C-alpha cells in the first residue's frame, strides 16, 4: 500500500521523526528554518498531510489557491489559532491538535514566571552576571510575597486547573477564576478554586493574573487597556497561553505608567518578535515560548500527531480532531 506523503515543517524530536519516517513517505525541514507562506502553500498543494507548529501561520488565503493535495493538518501543539480552521474545513481538510500531554509542563512554566516576577529573579540574575552586585543589604531588590496571596485565572481548562492546584495546595493561595462556561463548584473546589462571574471581578481581586484561555477569535485582545486598568497597581500578569490574548502596546503602557507592577510572558502576538518596549523593562520576565519545552512533553506531543494522522490514513477518526 502506498504510504501517505507528509511534510514536517520544523525539526521534531529524533524519536518522533524516526516513527514518521517509518510509517509515511516523510519529508523533513532539515534546515529547521521557518517556512514562508509560499512554501506552506506549496506544501498544501503537494503533500497528503502537513504537520505545522505554532510558528507556522496558515491563514485563509493559503487554502484558496488552486488544487490542494492535503487532506489533514496534524498540528504540533494544543493551540491552533494560527490555522484558519473554517478555511481548512471548507476545503475538506481535517485538523488535529495535541491536548493533554503538555498540561503539567505549561503550568510549571506559568509558576516559574509567577515566582520569577514576584521575586525579581530576572533582574537579580542579570545583576550577578554583570558583576555589579555589591552584596546583601536590607533594601536590595525587594519583591512581593507569593504565599497566601490571591491568584486570578482566566480560562479553567486543563492547564488552568493545574496552575490552580500548584498555587492553592503548594503556596496556600486563594484562587479565583473566570471561565466562559460554568464549572461545577465541587469540581472547582477539588482544584482549590472558586469561580467568579466576570473577567473584571477576577482582575480586581487578584494579586497575580494567569492567562490560560485559547487565543484567537473573541479572545484576541482580551486583556486590553480597560482590563489592565481593572487590575491592582501591585498586580502581576502572567501569560503562557497565546500572545494575541494581550494587547502588547497597552501592556507596555500600563507597565511604564505603573498601572500594574510587572509581567511574565512566554508567548507573544507576532512570535518571534517581542516589542522593544517590553524587552527594555526590568519588571518583565520574558521567555522564548518554553511552556512545553521538556524532552518528555515534546516527544509526547509528536506521538500525539503520529497517532492522529495514522488513524486518519487508516480510515479511523483521529482522536484529537478539532475540525
Pairing mode, strands 150-154 and 174-178: parallel
What is d(CA 10, CA 53) in angstroms, rounded to the nearest whole number?
7
Residue 191 annotated in active site: no
Catalytic residue (one of 242, 248, 259, 298): 242
Residue 168 annotated in active site: no
Catalytic residue (one of 17, 127, 201, 271): 271
What is d(CA 113, CA 263) in angstroms, rounded to the nearest whole number?
8
Catalytic residue (one of 82, 158, 227, 289): 289
Residue 140 annotated in active site: no
- Of 186, 182, 150, residue with least CA distance to 168: 150
Catalytic residues: 242, 271, 289
Amino acid at each position: 500500500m502506498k504510504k501517505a506523503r507528509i511534510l514536517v515543517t520544523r525539526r521534531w524530536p529524533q524519536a518522533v521523526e524516526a516513527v514518521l519516517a517509518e510509517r509515511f513517505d516523510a519529508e523533513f525541514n532539515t534546515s529547521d528554518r521557518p517556512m514562508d507562506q509560499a512554501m506552506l502553500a506549496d506544501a498544501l498543494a503537494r503533500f497528503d498531510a502537513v504537520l505545522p507548529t505554532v510558528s507556522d501561520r496558515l491563514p485563509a488565503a493559503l487554502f484558496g489557491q488552486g488544487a490542494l493535495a492535503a487532506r489533514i493538518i496534524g498540528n504540533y501543539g494544543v493551540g491552533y489559532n494560527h490555522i484558519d480552521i473554517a478555511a481548512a474545513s471548507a476545503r475538506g481538510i481535517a485538523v488535529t491538535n495535541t491536548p493533554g500531554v503538555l498540561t503539567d509542563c505549561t503550568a510549571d512554566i506559568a509558576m516559574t514566571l509567577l515566582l520569577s516576577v514576584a521575586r525579581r529573579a530576572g533582574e537579580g540574575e542579570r545583576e550577578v552576571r554583570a558583576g555589579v552586585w555589591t552584596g546583601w543589604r536590607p533594601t536590595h531588590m525587594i519583591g512581593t510575597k507569593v504565599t497566601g496571596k490571591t491568584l486570578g485565572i482566566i480560562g479553567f481548562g486543563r492547564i488552568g486547573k493545574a496552575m490552580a492546584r500548584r498555587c492553592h495546595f503548594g503556596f496556600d493561595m486563594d484562587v479565583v477564576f473566570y471561565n466562559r462556561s460554568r464549572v461545577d463548584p465541587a469540581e472547582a473546589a477539588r482544584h482549590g478554586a472558586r469561580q467568579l462571574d466576570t473577567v473584571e471581578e477576577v482582575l480586581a481581586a487578584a494579586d497575580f493574573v494567569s492567562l490560560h484561555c485559547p487565543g484567537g477569535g473573541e479572545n484576541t485582545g482580551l486583556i486590553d487597556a480597560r482590563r489592565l486598568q481593572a487590575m491592582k497597581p501591585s498586580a502581576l500578569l502572567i501569560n503562557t497561553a497565546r500572545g494575541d490574548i494581550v494587547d502588547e502596546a497597552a501592556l507596555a503602557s500600563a507597565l511604564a505608567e505603573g498601572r500594574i507592577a510587572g509581567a511574565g510572558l512566554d508567548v507573544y502576538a507576532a512570535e518571534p518578535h517581542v516589542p522593544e518596549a517590553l524587552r527594555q523593562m526590568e519588571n518583565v520576565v520574558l521567555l522564548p515560548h518554553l511552556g512545553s519545552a521538556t524532552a518528555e512533553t515534546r516527544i509526547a506531543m509528536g506521538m500525539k500527531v503520529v497517532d492522529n494522522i495514522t488513524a486518519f490514513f487508516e480510515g479511523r477518526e483521529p482522536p484529537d480532531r478539532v475540525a
